[in-house]
Amino acid sequence: MTTKKTALITGAGRGIGRRTAELLLADGWTVGVYDVSGDQSWAADVRGAVPGHLDVTDPESWEAALAEFTAAAGGLNLLVNNAGILFGGEFMDNSYKGDSMIVDVNVKGVLYGARAAFPHLKATRAAGGRAQMVSISSAAAIYGTPDLAVYSTTKFAVRGATEALEVEWLEHGIEVKAVWPLFTNTGMLDGVDVGGMRRMGVKLTPEDVAQEIVRCIDHDNLASKAPTKVHFPVGLQAKALYAGAHFSPNWVTRFFNAKLTTSRRVGI
Residues noted as catalytic? 151
Q: Are strands 231-233 and 6-9 parallel, antiparallel or unpaired?
A: unpaired
Q: How far is CA 172 from the centre of its chain?
A: 22
- Whole-angstrom CA distances from 89 to 103, 150, 182, 189, 223 are 16, 10, 17, 12, 43
Give Cα separations from 116 to 34, 227, 264 (angstroms).
Answer: 15, 29, 43
**The length of the chain, given as a count of residues:** 268
Give the separation between CA 217 and CA 221, rounded to whole angstroms.
10
3-state class (DSSP) for residue 191? coil
Residue pair 84/133 in contact by the 8 Å Cβ criterion:
no
β-strands 49-53, 78-81: how paired? unpaired
Distance, CA of 66 to CA of 117 (rounded, Å):
7
Bridge-based pairing of strands 30-35 and 78-81 is unpaired
CB distance 96 to 89 below 8 Å: no
From the CB of residue 231, how many other CB atoms can be counted at a distance below 10 Å? 17
Q: How many CA atoms lie within 13 A of 265 on its CB side?
A: 0
